[in-house]
Amino acid sequence: MDNFEYCNPTRVFFGKGQIAAIDTQIPREAKVLLTYGGGSIKRNGTYAQVKAALGGRKVVEFGGIEPNPAFETMLKGVDLARAEKVDFVLAVGGGSVVDGSKFLSGAVFYEGDPWEIVLTRASVVKKTLPLGAVLTLPATGTEMNGNAVVTRRATKDKLGMASPLFFPRFSVLDPELTYSLPPRQIANGVVDAFVHTMEQYMTYPARGSVQDRFAEGVLLTLIEEGPKTLAHPTDYDSRANMMWAATMALCGILRVGMPGDWASHGIGHELTALYGMDHGQTLAVVLPGVLAEYRAAKHDKLLQYARRVWGESGSDEAAVDGAIARTRAFFESLGVKTTLAGYGLGADAIPAVVEQLRRHNRLTLGEGDMIDLDGVTRILKRCL
């Protein structure tokens, strides 16, 4: 375990009715930009609760943020925020709304070409509007981290960025807001949180006992609660555990002092940008391929995962085989297909993914940069 510094500045309000806490977190005199997506918050009652909590504050609305938020869309929001001179952003929705709003919160003050924010992974961001979030989809962890991912539709560039200034000031996590999620989004969320945990855990033994046990706890919770939330959409306890698991998976606590992989995400973002697959779908396809192709390098951790998470008791090699197979079967059991063919893609889809990574200067991926672009091709050939 390497030296580390850990600070998470996001204040979380978790549980039923917590939207009311917004009133204590946003100054009364603030002019609020309320951002949201395609309308789910209006259909499930979240919007009405948020408006009630905002009370007499001046509110300007910016809706229509799409899944995998478009840079082009968010620039319209930046124009609105500037014209209206808002001084607080309240993002209400899933990861796309929160991520797009984080970008907006920095772009408002940036005087250069806003694409530079993305290209520099937000290192040019020196000031942001304060941002709060009301999360309606447990998956990304954006509610308690400083990351944002936006896509420039015109050029098919889906790129992540991170800044300490992007942490929400506060986030409301009310599991009841997730009851209305369609099964596809619930399943995508379970897969996303699972793969976030794996990206920080499935590398090599690094003597971080707490981090390992914590990661295994998150994985086991997702395995237990994910299927329950699908089968019983209004089971509060399952929803609550699912939501907290997803937040813990990417709030930075699993990562401290530990190596990371992130190859499944690197490859997955290109699959979304090129072929429009959902983020969770890309991860369900790529992760089993990474595990199989880099089985030797990840062997010791795969074995630990097999024994502790899946309870595999056979010989070492049989246990590793079992763990990889059961990971794939778990995603499939949620209704998320784990092959490219499941999304209508074949071997001819692979070269463009590699080319995109080259264009984005992502020539090596994985822990220790062990995966080169030939490795990416081999991984994707395992995903057909």
Q: Two tokens at 16?
A: 């039923």
- The region of 45-53, 84-92, 167-175, 192-200 touching Zn ion under the rule CB under 5 A is 192-200
Q: Answer yes or no whether residue 192 interacts with Zn ion by CB under 5 A.
A: yes
Considering beta carbons, is residue 229 or 281 the nearer one to Zn ion? 281
CB 155, min distance to ligand NZQ, A: 16
Q: Which stretch binds Zn ion (CB under 5 A): 76-84, 187-195, 228-236, 350-358?
A: 187-195
Integer Cα distance of 350 and 357 in angstroms? 11
Comparison of 99 and 212: residue with beta carbon closer to ligand NZQ: 99
HSE value, Cβ hemisphere, 13 Å, CA-based, for 301: 28
Taking the C-alpha atoms of residue 146 and residue 9, their distance in angstroms, rounded to an integer, is: 10
Identify residue 197 by its one-letter amino acid code.
T
Q: What secondary structure letter does DSSP report for 70?
A: B
145 forms part of the interface with ligand NZQ (CB under 6 A): yes
CB of 279 to ligand NZQ, least distance (A): 4
d(CA 64, CA 72): 12
Pick one of Zn ion, ligand NZQ, none as the site partner of residue 338 (Cβ within 5 to 8 A by kind). Answer: none
Interacting residue with ligand NZQ among 35, 49, 73, 96 (CB under 6 A): 96
Identity of residue 295: R
Q: Can you give the length of the chain in residues?
A: 384
Dihedral sign for Cα 107, 110, 115, 116, please: negative
Distance of closest approach, residue 19 Cβ to Zn ion, in angstroms: 25
Scanning residues 40 to 59, which ones bind ligand NZQ (CB under 6 A)?
Answer: 40-41, 44
DSSP annotation string for 169-199: SEEEE-GGGGTT--HHHHHHHHHHHHHHHHH
Nearest distance from C-beta of residue 372 to ligand NZQ, angstroms: 22
Question: Binders of ligand NZQ among 267-286, rule CB under 6 A?
Answer: 279
Q: Does residue 163 touch ligand NZQ according to CB under 6 A?
A: no
Residue 26 burial (C-beta neighbours within 10 Å; 0-12, 13-18, 19+) = buried
Q: Around 149, how many Cα atoms within 13 Å sit in the side-chain half-sphere?
A: 22
Tokens of 22: 């917004």
* C-alpha–C-alpha distance, residues 173 and 253, integer Å: 18
Contact letters for ligand NZQ, residues 2-41 (x by CB under 6 A): -----------------------------------xxxxx
Asked if 180 interacts with ligand NZQ (CB under 6 A), we say yes
Per CB under 6 A, the list member of 19, 22, 159, 181 interacting with ligand NZQ is 181
Q: What's the min distance (Å) between Cβ of 318 and ligand NZQ? A: 32
Shortest separation between residue 196's beta carbon and ligand NZQ, angstroms: 6
Contact 378, 297 (CB under 8 A): no
Binding site for ligand NZQ (CB under 6 A): 37-41, 44, 67-68, 93-97, 99, 136-137, 139-142, 145, 147-149, 177-178, 180-181, 185, 188-189, 192, 250, 265, 279
